[in-house]
Amino acid sequence: MIVRTLDDIAGSDRDVRADTWRSRRLLLARDAMGFSVHDTVLYAGTEIPMHYQNHLEAVYVIDGEGELVELATGTVHQLRPGVVYALDAHDRHIVRPTTDIRCVCVFNPPVTGKEVHDETGAYPLIVEEPVSR
């Protein structure tokens, strides 16, 4: 059984920050669950283009507001607590938080925690062996 809190990972290699977001990776590939789970804050007033070509992602908004833009269609979706969106077709998108948005993100395949967004907004596919428990 894995039990982990945000306090457990604060300041560790699972606590990752960028100019537009902070992601606390509660579960990673090395946890051998087949997916990763992140508690992420997207910072107000930023514009975050993303395109996960190697991962599927589901995002559940638990606090804050903003908008999600589907780049293929130009469709704009409002983000607020209780909204979930799933990037089931490796969708190119932009998130524009009007307030800080706190969300829970789930990735399949799981990320390792070593990924960095490339120029397209994607994470590379990094394969990592699970740590035996």
- pLDDT tens per residue across span 75-128: 999 999 999 999 999 899 999 999 999 999 999 999 887 666 566 656 656 566
Encode pLDDT of 57-80 as tens digits: 999 999 999 999 999 999 999 999
pTM (whole model) above 0.75 = yes
Over residues 41-50, mean pLDDT? 96
pLDDT-derived band at 55, boundaries 50, 70, 90: confident
Whether residue 91 lies inside any domain: the answer is: yes
Whether residue 23 lies inside any domain: the answer is: yes
How many whole angstroms separate alpha carbon 124 and alpha carbon 133? 26
Whether residue 133 lies inside any domain: the answer is: no
Whether residue 129 lies inside any domain: the answer is: no
Residue 20 has pLDDT above 80, yes or no: yes
Specify the higher pLDDT residue, 126 or 50. 50
Range of the domain at 62: 14-108
Question: In this predicted structure, what is the pLDDT of residue 124?
Answer: 57
How many whole angstroms separate alpha carbon 41 and alpha carbon 45? 12
Whether residue 75 lies inside any domain: the answer is: yes
The tally of domains found in the chain comes to 1
Helical (H) or strand (E) element with 68: strand 66-70
Note every long-range contact of 112-117, with CB atoms under 8 Å and residues 24 or more positions apart, other chains counting. Answer: 112/28, 112/29, 112/30, 113/13, 113/14, 113/16, 113/25, 113/28, 113/29, 113/30, 117/18, 117/50
Question: In this predicted structure, what is the pLDDT of residue 112?
Answer: 84
Residue 131 has pLDDT above 70, yes or no: no
CATH number for the domain that contains residue 27: 2.60.120.10
